[in-house]
Amino acid sequence: MTSLKLLNVEDVEADTELVVLQLERSGYQVDCSRVETADQMREMLRSRTWDVIISDYSLPAFSGLDAFEILKDSGLDIPFIIISGTIGEEAAVAAMKAGVSDYLMKNNLGKIGPTIAREIADAEVRKAKHLAEGALAESEEDFRGLVLATTQHVWEMDENGKHAELPQWWLDLTGQSVDQSGDFGWLESVHPEDRDSAKHTFLHALESQTQVSLQLRIKSAAGTYRYFAARGVPLQRPDGTFRKWICTLADISERMQALDELRRSEERFRGLVEASSQFVWTADADGRGDELFKWLSELCGSEVRSFADIKKVLHEADRSTIWPMWTDALRDQKPYQFICRLQDKHHGYKHFDFRGNPIYNDTGSFREWVGTLSDVTDKFAAIDALERSEIHLRTIVEGSPECIKLLSRDIRILEMNKTGLDMIEAESVDDLIGREAIELVAPECRDDFRAIVQQVFEGGNGRLEFEIVSLKGTRRWLEMHAAPLRDRSGDIQSLLGLSRDVTNRRKTNEALKKSEARFRELFENANDLVYTHDLDGRFTSLNRAGEAITGYTREEALKMSITDVVAPESIALAKEKTDEKIAGQSATSYETEIIHKDGRRVTLDLSTRLIYEDGVAIG
């Protein structure tokens, strides 16, 4: 059975028992409290939560409409249904216009179960709409805040692009003087790659006197380039003649990407949320109602004179489903509620919540229809936009080449994308959710992993290289960047970690270290003199054999040039051979003499090769 917390505004306990009995027959397990006065009702609204409120229309102490006003004053959104045995037509219409969810006659309590189910479902829809609108409002507030925080420079120009007075901010920004910035001198502060395009765009705008915008890089007084967005708008006099240019320059280096994303978000959500409109209508047994037809005519921009005309403005896809439901309800005189799309005067379509309830005379005969027509387009659009945004974000996360995961404060896995599952060799995310992530970290790395988790939950960011052991025993090294993920109130909810596999990089570094160690050992232990020098002839290294042959220590040699040890008559030959090497000739071998530190001459058979770095000779 479905549990139901019911607040009953009723002065007759037997009537309350009758309502509870009917609800239990409808499948509800009812928790009911009865109140008879306004003070009792206010206390019950403060002390407990309720699924639905059912009120008698008339009580000795106050009325059902008084009770509804108390509910509205509380700010709570709880379905409110009036049950009466004597309510008249005018009172019923007044209650519906006041916002009462529904009303039933006491001799028709068989409909109370479906009515409550429908109204509770509607309340859930209103709650979802409220949450969607709140999220949308936050997004738009973020956009407005970013725009307001942006510093923009503004200046004016005449039709020839001249300034009445050069803005001081430009002189401060670029470091140029007034004379340097005159005419096209300001172009000297524009990045060379942007200069021609900026000049062409500027001259074209002056000639055509049309609005212009461009992005360019400008050199600051400090010598660095930053991105700016420039915009110019020509203003005209009332007679259509040109008056002046209004121009702006905004530094977008730090926020170009953020502004682009916020701009797209603003375009998606612009116009989705407007004040909800609701129309209360009445109609005869055949569905004819002058007020309803007039309202629909104004909405659609075409005349609606009969019930059949409504089908013409109903969305084609809804005609096969909604129309039969509607006609059946009118024929059987049963309450109905559905969502449909109606054409507006701009030939677009809006979503409407259409509902109607039959009103009966005291004799039980049908009297009229009373219903509401509510524009719910904004709710559908907002929910759809949020769903698309969530899908977009999920696609980015799942398509990322990095492992993206969320961890709880106790280091349990809350979420992980497919890349992460592949790294851990898990078949499904269900194998990991709730599992302690520390179990997958190599034992020798666990203390460091716990430390970075604590650091993040204290509000900091962190980076860590650590080794994991996958579910199948594979060991991998990961580099993780971690940051706190906060909720709307700023409280840290989880750790957001982005990890990439650096196993191959570590293996490459280890191999490089071993290779360098082997080379150093060969270099130092070679029996021949081995040395290197730069293109200017300065020694950059010398092995132990070289120290013995030249008589100079390594420290002394690193302060010397090749010309300091080569015999004077051999220097020209050495330079010639070096030039041949730089010109692209093969390895060179020749005989030369050097002067030992003690003055002795030593004859050497030299073999030389060029040293390259990134394809460029450096020694």
What local confidence, expressed as pLDDT, does residue 520 receive?
81
C-alpha–C-alpha distance, residues 426 and 435, integer Å: 12
Instruction: Give me the half-sphere count of Cα atoms (radius 13 Å) on the Cβ side of residue 138.
Output: 9
Is 2-125's fold the same as 151-254's?
no
C-alpha–C-alpha distance, residues 85 and 105, integer Å: 5
Name the more confident of 439 and 578: 439
CATH superfamily of the 526-617 domain: PAS domain (3.30.450.20)
Confidence label for 98 from pLDDT (cuts 50, 70 and 90): confident
Measured CA to CA in angstroms, residue 325 lies from 64, 115, 320, 398, 598 at distances of 32, 17, 9, 42, 113
pLDDT at 393 over 70: no
What local confidence, expressed as pLDDT, does residue 521 receive?
80
Confidence label for 263 from pLDDT (cuts 50, 70 and 90): low
- With contact defined as beta carbons under 8 Å apart, do 133 and 382 qualify? yes
pLDDT at 140 over 60: no
- With contact defined as beta carbons under 8 Å apart, do 14 and 40 qualify? no
Q: How far apart are the first and last CA of the chain?
A: 87
What local confidence, expressed as pLDDT, does residue 492 receive?
92
Which candidate, 168, 164, 232, places its Cα nearest to that of 198?
Answer: 232
C-alpha–C-alpha distance, residues 228 and 174, integer Å: 13
Strand ranges in 507-600 using DSSP code E only, listed in sequence order: 531-533, 539-542, 588-595
Does domain 2-125 correspond to CATH entry 3.40.50.2300?
yes
- With contact defined as beta carbons under 8 Å apart, do 232 and 246 qualify? yes
Classified as helix, coil or strand, 279 is strand
Does domain 151-254 correspond to CATH entry 3.30.450.20?
yes
Structure token digits, residue 301: 């921009």
- With contact defined as beta carbons under 8 Å apart, do 492 and 482 qualify? no
What local confidence, expressed as pLDDT, does residue 513 receive?
84
What local confidence, expressed as pLDDT, does residue 143 receive?
41
Name the more confident of 237 and 106: 237
What local confidence, expressed as pLDDT, does residue 11 receive?
87
Listed ranges 81-90, 119-128, 605-614; the one with the highest mean pLDDT: 119-128
CB contact set of 126 (below 8 Å; sequence gap of 6+): 77
Q: Residues in the chain, how many?
A: 619
pLDDT at 413 over 80: yes
Confidence label for 154 from pLDDT (cuts 50, 70 and 90): confident
pLDDT at 593 over 70: yes
Which candidate, 283, 441, 266, places its Cα nearest to that of 356?
Answer: 283
Confidence label for 269 from pLDDT (cuts 50, 70 and 90): very low
What strands, in cross-sheet order, belong to the sheet with 152-157?
Answer: 152-157, 242-251, 225-236, 212-219
What local confidence, expressed as pLDDT, does residue 257 receive?
61
What local confidence, expressed as pLDDT, does residue 271 receive?
34
pLDDT at 485 over 80: yes
C-alpha–C-alpha distance, residues 420 and 429, integer Å: 9
We find that the CATH architecture of domain 400-506 is: 2-Layer Sandwich (3.30)
| Overall average pLDDT of the 259-278 stretch | 47
Listed ranges 36-50, 182-196, 243-257, 377-391; the one with the highest mean pLDDT: 36-50
Classified as helix, coil or strand, 352 is strand
Element (H, E) at 486: strand 475-486
Confidence label for 270 from pLDDT (cuts 50, 70 and 90): very low
- The 10s digit of each residue's pLDDT in 231-242 is 999 998 888 898
The percentage of the chain sitting over the pLDDT mark of 70, rounded to a whole number, equals 92
Identify the CATH class of 278-375: alpha beta
**Domain range annotation of the chain:** 2-125, 151-254, 278-375, 400-506, 526-617
Name the more confident of 604 and 167: 604
| Overall average pLDDT of the 48-63 stretch | 88
Q: CA torsion sign, 390 to 391 to 396 to 401?
A: positive
Name the more confident of 168 and 386: 168
- The 10s digit of each residue's pLDDT in 434-477 is 889 999 999 999 999 999 999 999 999 999 999 999 999 999 99
